[in-house]
Amino acid sequence: MKYLITGGAGFIGSNFIKYLLNNYPECSIVNLDKLTYCGNLDNLKDIEKDPRYKFTKGDITDEKIANELIKDADIVVNFAAETHVDRSIVNPEDFLKTNILGIYVLLEAARKYDKRFHQISSDEVFGALSLESEEKFKEDTSYAPRSPYSASKAAADHLVRAYFHTYGLKTTISNCGNNYGPYQFPEKFIPLGITNLIEWKKVPVYGDGLYVRDWIYVLDHCSAIDAVLQKGKIGKSYCISSEEEKANIEVARRILKEFNLPEDRIEFVKDRPGHDRRYAVSAEKIKKELGWKAEYSFERGIKETIKWYKENKEWWLKLKEKARFERF
- Whether 149 is catalytic: yes
- Whether 123 is catalytic: yes
Catalytic residue among 33, 59, 82, 124: 124
Catalytic residue among 123, 214, 220, 244: 123
**SS3 sequence, the chain?**
CEEEEECCCCHHHHHHHHHHHHHCCCCEEEEEECCCCCCCHHHHHHHCCCCCEEEEECCCCCHHHHHHHHHCCCEEEECCCCCCHHHHHHCHHHHHHHHHHHHHHHHHHHHHHCCEEEEEEEHHHHCCECCCCCCCECCCCCCCCCCHHHHHHHHHHHHHHHHHHHHCCCEEEEEECEEECCCCCCCCHHHHHHHHHHCCCCEEEECCCCCEEEEEEHHHHHHHHHHHHHHCCCCCEEEECCCCEEEHHHHHHHHHHHHCCCHHHEEEECCCCCCCCECCECCHHHHHHHCCCCCCCHHHHHHHHHHHHHHCHHHHHHHHHHHHHCCC
Catalytic residue among 3, 149, 180, 183: 149
- Return the active site residues: 123-124, 149
